[in-house]
Chains A and B, each alone.
Chain A
Amino acid sequence: MVEKTEVTMDSGEGTGPVPAKEPAEVLLGYYRDMVLIRSFELTAVEMYKRAKIGGYCHLNLGEEATVVGLTAALHKRDYLFTTYRDHGYALSRGMAPGQVMAELFGKTTGVAKGRGGSMHMFDTETRMLGGYGIVGGQIPPATGAALALTYRGEPGPDAEAVMCQLGDGTTNIGAFHESLNMAAIWDLPIVYVIVNNRLGMGTTVEAASGEPELYRRGASYRIPGERVDGNDVLAVREAAAAAMERARAQRQPGLLEVMSYRLKGHSVVDPARYRSSEDNERAREADPIPALRGSLLQAGIIDEEHATEIEREADEQVSAAVAFADSSPDPAPGELFDYAYATPVANAPHTLPGDPVVEMP
């Protein structure tokens, strides 16, 4: 049994002075990744307003340190399952920004060939196995992925493991509890990460949860829980890496609660009028991007010019992603049934609305 590490902070305090031992290149890499997500998401808002993107569109704005810290804790061989607020994870896990944007645009060059859209980023290469639109839907499959790993490898520092990200509201769904219970009794190599942005759509954690300190919910299953400041990319990485290490080496499932903020509404179309001005102010103050930027400047790792250069590069990458998505082909109606079944089957339906249901000689 691993000792529970309790972090008392419950409001994001952001990145403090950067530790001297942390290589400058690593820190710069995190800053680049975070800035790329910020630029991508702001552009997604713009593209949504121009109707290039349809459906629901949930953004990682304000959660950049959380996203980058979590994915930094993953090995290439690890699997990641996420919620529908998934653009940043897709980018951070290594999917090409152009293909992620093309998925938002519903193009054939999208990571899911335009079949999934914003909520369903998926890529077997980078082992991000979705983006799930149903709240809590990803948790049992992620648990099953961890179960599959127990059939194909032994525990150890280089073993594969699973990270399953979820939101604060999701901890009230049955699938969460059923999954933690199975992970515990079967010793599964999985870390459940609650990104607590304090709001499930418009409902606060306190209003929705009998135990609002969500990391404590692991206790019912003897799964060690830990809470960490989601605005501190290094703190997130360290906590996630330690939990993943226990999952890989000891098959000890873990529960990590990352305290973060949503800078905007639940989705692009939500003006979030239910949020108080104080809450919005706290979220703005906790914004991890200016915080990390300030720390890097203070530590002399970058200067103003270098920082601006990184930000400009991110904007250019996103512009190129938009151009790629825009110029990519739309799927043709004739491709509608292309992924109906993995194993072809007799009499599979392939009629369009208004077609005869049966062709007889």
Chain B
Amino acid sequence: MPVITYRQALNDTLRAELTRDESVFLIGEEIGIFEGSYKITAGLLAEFGPTRVRDTPISEEGFVGAAIGAAMLGMRPVVEIMTINFSLIAIDQIVNHAAKIYGMFGGQTAVPMVLRMPGGGGQQLAATHSQNLEVWYAHVPGLKVVAPATPADAKALLTAAIRDDDPVIFLENLSLYNTKGEVPEGEQIAEIGKAAVTKEGTDVTVIAYSRASVIALEVARQLEDDGVSVEVVDLRSLRPLDRHTICASVRKTSRAVILEDDWLSYGIGAEISATLMEGAFDYLDAPVRRVAAAEVPLPYAKPLESAALPDANDLIKVIRELLEATSFTR
């Protein structure tokens, strides 16, 4: 199986879908001549031309809304928003329009569009360019929100998102673009709304998504050597949320830690924790723990940035605390 980067998996998938379906087109800032701020669309303008790979003015509200209107007439726009931070300028179109049009008009017109947007801190981009605002979108009925962690999922979830008739927020993460992984050749279509158990274990479940899923898996492998069996649930989809898979895993392990890049309060972990209260309460040996970002506008200075963002050491510390609190023995 070929090993490629997350970036390459996205690029290959966009190319494959542009080739497959003439109603698919890409739209966004600097995606054509500049080939994308993060080079996800490299080479596509040359291959497909300026109407299929459409550069826009700096008008997030305008071009996101235009993608909605084009989708209403049967096109399948794939929007690149340079980073999730800039999506706030388009939030009226995303929340009040993309998410509403199918239901509010009685199911007459679907809005088949994808909104790709990278988020995440750790690049010293300071407070306005380092956010994880996925919970804002995950909160909204009418949207679907996916967050692939691996190159293989990037391919399979992007393919699914483009072929889906609803607006799909496709969350990327800046720190994942250069990560590598095996990606099966040929058509791969993930099922949106399903989590995956990416590593089985018996002592504790770590629930994560996007970059945090990669860290969770690394930690799980590391702790395996110490005799701790960690199960990892990669959410993959934040809306819908696969509550069943989460609860089933924690019923088995009796311990749960959520690792998330967003801020702690009202975050994805809060929703999962509440779900576990209902779906796994009697099985829990200890309170559910959350490892999330410190609640500050992320500073530029590296020591402060690093302190604010959750990492493998934070996760290991919390897992150990949880095990000690429940008199875990190997």
A residues lining the B interface (CB < 8 Å): 79, 81, 110-116, 120, 122-124, 129-130, 132, 134, 137, 139-152, 174-175, 178-179, 181-182, 185, 338-343, 345-349, 356-358, 360
Contact = CB atoms under 8 A, between A and B. Distances in A.
Interface string B96-109: 11000111111111
Contacts of A113: 106-107
A341 B102 contact: yes
Contact of A347 (B93, B142, B240): B240
B108 A360 contact: no
Interface string B107-139: 111111000000000000000000000000000
B278 A357 contact: yes
Interface of B: 23, 25, 51, 56-57, 59, 61-75, 77, 92-93, 96-97, 101-112, 141-142, 144, 164-166, 191-194, 237, 240-244, 247-248, 251, 274-275, 278-280
A349 B166 CA distance: 15
Contact of A115 (B59, B106, B193, B240): B106
Contacts of A144: 65-73, 77
Given A148-B69, A341-B142, 14 more contacts: A79-B73, A137-B92, A137-B93, A141-B66, A143-B62, A143-B65, A151-B23, A175-B65, A339-B102, A341-B165, A347-B244, A348-B240, A357-B274, A357-B275
Report which residue of B64, B71, B106, B251 has the largest number of chain A beta carbons within 10 angstroms of its beta carbon: B106
Contact of B105 (A116, A137, A175): A116
A182 B55 CA distance: 11
Task: Output the residue of B69, B166, B237 with the most chain A CB within 10 A.
Answer: B69
A123 B106 CA distance: 10
Contacts of A360: 244, 247-248, 251, 279-280
A151 B192 contact: no
A282 B23 CA distance: 51
Contacts of B278: 356-358
Contacts of A123: 108
22 contacts: A115-B103, A115-B106, A116-B104, A116-B106, A130-B101, A140-B62, A141-B65, A141-B101, A145-B70, A152-B73, A178-B62, A181-B62, A182-B57, A341-B102, A341-B142, A342-B111, A342-B165, A345-B193, A346-B191, A347-B237, A357-B275, A360-B248
A348 B111 CA distance: 17
A348 B68 CA distance: 22
Contacts of A142: 69
Nearest to A79: B73
A360 B280 CA distance: 9
Contacts of A339: 102-103, 106-107
Q: Which 7 pairs of residues, A with B, have the shortest CB-CB distance?
A: A140-B65, A144-B69, A178-B62, A113-B106, A144-B66, A141-B69, A346-B193
B242 A124 contact: no
Contacts of A338: 107
B74 to A, nearest CB: 7
Most chain B CB inside 10 Å of its own CB: which residue of A123, A340, A341, A346: A341
A151 B75 contact: yes
A11 B242 CA distance: 60
Contact of B104 (A112, A146, A343, A347): A112
Given A137-B96, A148-B73, A348-B193, A178 B243 contact: no
Contact of B103 (A146, A174, A181, A340): A340
